[in-house]
Amino acid sequence: MIICISNCQSPLLKKGVYTIRQSFTDPTVCNKTGGTAFHINEEPSWQLGGYSSWVFKEDSGRLIVLSNDKFVISGELAPTFDQKACHTFYVNMMFEPSKIRGRIVKDLFPKTYNKTVDTNKWSFYQPTVDSSVWYGTGCNHVYWIKYNFPESPMVSVGIGANGRNLNLGMYGYFPWSNVIEMNIDIIDPLKK
């Protein structure tokens, strides 16, 4: 791990409420599939209602930056390709600033990092173990996913961090029985 000199000490996100949503792919900077907020790369499990990707239903995703620089993401998740399905979750996850830099995932075209995206300006956060849960709703009401982070994977926040476009975004992955990946755009409340 790389110790953070300065950027981890000054988070990009300021206190307030942001809208968050799935990251769509900009084909000029990436050839990966986009359009999901959370997804797994394996066969869907019965515990997830048989689905493998989710979006924030009806733009319900929120990121709230607290006065201590921690932030919470929350909102109702619906299956990406069947948003009327009853297999939904309510996500509520808290993150705190990290003093170490996490793994930098570079899913954009390499030339993008040389010209437009500066990973040195990204901030890194750790999920808080006791405050990171997907609560089952609808047909999933008997299920919940509580993340246990034995290795505390980092979440990166910054321009291009979502790995799908050049928006302010967030990327992370969370161990569960499957690995659940997150690619999210963060909409600055001042630039709506």
Indicate the domain borders of the chain.
Answer: 2-10+17-191
pLDDT at site 78:
94
Q: What is the pLDDT of residue 148?
A: 66
Whether residue 190 contacts residue 53, with contact meaning beta carbons closer than 8 Å, is answered with no
CA distance 117 to 124: 16
For residues 17 and 64, the answer to whether their CB atoms sit within 8 Å is: yes
CA separation (Å) from 48 to 5, 42, 93, 99?
40, 12, 18, 33
Tens-of-pLDDT digits for all 192 residues of the chain?
333 333 444 457 888 999 999 999 999 999 988 889 998 877 777 777 788 899 999 889 999 999 888 999 999 999 999 999 998 999 999 999 987 777 788 999 999 987 789 998 999 998 887 778 888 899 888 777 777 665 657 899 999 999 999 999 999 988 776 778 899 999 977 555
How would you write 38-99 as a 3-class SS string? Answer: EEECCCCCHHHCCCCEEEEHHHCCEEEECCCCCEEEEEEEEECCCCCCCEEEEEEEEEEECC
Strand partners, 186: 20
pLDDT at residue 180, rounded to an integer: 85
pLDDT of 79 reads 93
